[in-house]
Amino acid sequence: MEEFEELVADVFSRRCTSRSVLETITGRWAILALVALYEGPYRFNALRRRVDGVSEKMLSQTLHALERDGMVLRVAEPSIPPKVEYSLTELGREAAERLIPLLEWVEGRMPQVLSSREEYAAR
């Protein structure tokens, strides 16, 4: 229990221990990976195709960070070639369930955003 005595639960504080997790899950690729994995397990290349535009390196780094934080489960089957599958843990499912409404809101509000961008550019 000593390891948790230094926890600071205030994301506005620079000492907040959750900031690194917040940084990980709010990254563009992490949000998309979490929501894609909410659909079901994926192998690496299939997930990379689903998250269009992500590089192999960035997806790998993102999945490692999400696995480190307990949100993604990586299962490697001993075969040739190795079959590796990624899925969400319960913690990852909870995070994805909170991110899905954000993505839906962004997609639904694009007309207003584009209009605002045009007005801004015209100034």
Question: 86: closest CA among 41, 34, 29?
Answer: 41
Place of tokens 């015209």: 122
Lowest-pLDDT choice from 10-19, 52-61, 91-100, 108-117: 10-19
Answer for the pair 62, 27: CB distance below 8 angstroms, yes or no.
yes
Question: 31: closest CA among 105, 85, 84, 83?
Answer: 105
Residues of the chain above pLDDT 90, percent? 79
- Residue 37 burial by CB count (10 A; 0-12/13-18/19+): exposed, middle or buried? buried
Answer for the pair 36, 63: CB distance below 8 angstroms, yes or no.
no
- The token pair at 32 is 């998309």
Residue with the bigger pLDDT between 4 and 24: it is 24
For the stretch 79-116, what's the b/e string if a residue is b when 16 or more beta carbons lie within 10 angstroms of its beta carbon? eeeeeeebebbeebeebbeebeeeeeeeeeeeeeeeee
- Residue 115 φ/ψ region, left for φ over 0, alpha for ψ in the -120 to 50 degree band, beta for the rest: alpha
Distance CA 123, CA 119 (A): 7
Residue with the bigger pLDDT between 10 and 116: it is 116
For 65-119, how does the pLDDT look when each residue is reduced to its tens digit (9 = 90+)? 999 999 999 999 888 888 999 999 999 999 999 999 999 999 999 999 999 999 9
* Residue 2: pLDDT band with limits 50, 70, 90: low
